[in-house]
């Protein structure tokens, strides 16, 4: 087993043992998706119209719940210092942690989304596009979130500052993801929004490990 795979498996196991952070994210996602239709009322056309934006924002906020622990746990118990001294580059460490966060949080949110779309009376084609957009976009949420988590690593109450850093950077993902669903509702092709979302996600996933690794080095004192 390679060092990258070993770190990935370790982080997935820690995520499963750390008080159910993935379950907390799923519960928050489901709760928000349930409360919004209750607040809007029984207008099925309106519910279907806002479904893409509401579910995308809810998924984004749910994913943020566990981002502050991406590096924090290892930083507090000293494991991050040991990992930084290992042969595995910090860029690869960041990649492993981003992938572990997506597998434990982003992917389950994506799988749950079709069930919650039923609450909004979202048509089948639009639901399919919603799932595809979340499948494409949630890796970007984990990737950009890793940058915020590494920047706030040594700050007190960094978990409160983290959303202020991450949310503005993820605005394009929400716009393109929700826009692709809205395009289907308007009878247009969603390929434009999905293409832009994919480009954003690829750029985020490629660049964020380097930015996160640089921030971790600064927090570790070089």
* Domain span at 123: 3-219
pLDDT of residue 19: 54
For the segment 50-95, what is each residue's pLDDT rounded down to a tens digit?
A: 999 999 999 999 998 888 778 888 888 888 888 888 888 999 999 9
Distance CA 28, CA 59 (A): 9
DSSP for residue 118:
G
Per-chain mean pLDDT for the chain = 89
Specify the range with the lowest mean pLDDT, choosing from 25-39, 123-137, 150-164, 168-182. Answer: 150-164
Only one residue has tokens 């978990």, namely: 159
Specify the range with the lowest mean pLDDT, choosing from 10-24, 38-52, 181-195. Answer: 10-24
The listed range with the strongest mean pLDDT (102-106, 132-136, 165-169) is 132-136
Q: What is the pTM of this model?
A: 0.92
Q: Count structural domains, the chain.
A: 1
Question: Quick one: average pLDDT of 133-150?
Answer: 95
Question: Quick one: average pLDDT of 39-43?
Answer: 81
Contact 129, 181 (CB under 8 A): yes
pLDDT of residue 1: 62
pLDDT of residue 222: 56
Residue 107 CB neighbour total at 10 angstroms: 17
| Helix (H) or strand (E) segment spanning residue 183 | helix 171-185
pLDDT at 28 over 70: yes
Distance CA 18, CA 6 (A): 18
pLDDT of residue 158: 60
Specify the range with the lowest mean pLDDT, choosing from 69-83, 89-103, 105-119. Answer: 69-83
Nearest residue to 141 (alpha-carbon basis) of 103, 106, 97:
106
Question: Quick one: average pLDDT of 174-191?
Answer: 94
């Amino acid at each position: 087993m390679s060092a990258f795979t070993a770190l990935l498996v370790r982080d997935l196991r820690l995520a499963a043992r750390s008080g159910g952070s993935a379950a907390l994210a799923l519960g928050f996602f489901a709760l928000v998706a349930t409360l919004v239709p209750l607040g809007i009322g029984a207008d099925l056309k309106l519910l279907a119209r806002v479904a893409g934006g509401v579910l995308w924002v809810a998924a984004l906020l749910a994913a943020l719940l566990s981002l502050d622990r991406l590096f924090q746990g290892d930083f507090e118990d000293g494991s991050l210092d040991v990992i930084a001294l290992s042969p595995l580059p910090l860029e690869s460490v960041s990649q492993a942690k981003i992938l572990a966060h997506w597998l434990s949080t982003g992917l389950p949110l994506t799988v749950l989304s079709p069930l919650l779309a039923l609450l909004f009376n979202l048509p089948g084609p639009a639901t399919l596009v919603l799932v595809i957009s979340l499948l494409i976009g949630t890796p970007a949420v984990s990737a950009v979130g890793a940058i915020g988590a590494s920047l706030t690593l040594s700050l007190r109450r960094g978990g409160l500052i983290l959303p202020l850093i991450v949310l503005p950077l993820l605005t394009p993902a929400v716009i393109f993801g929700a826009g692709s669903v809205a395009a289907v509702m308007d009878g247009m092709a969603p390929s434009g929004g999905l293409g832009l979302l994919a480009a954003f996600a690829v750029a985020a996933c490629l660049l964020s490990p380097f930015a996160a690794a640089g921030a971790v080095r600064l927090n570790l004192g070089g």
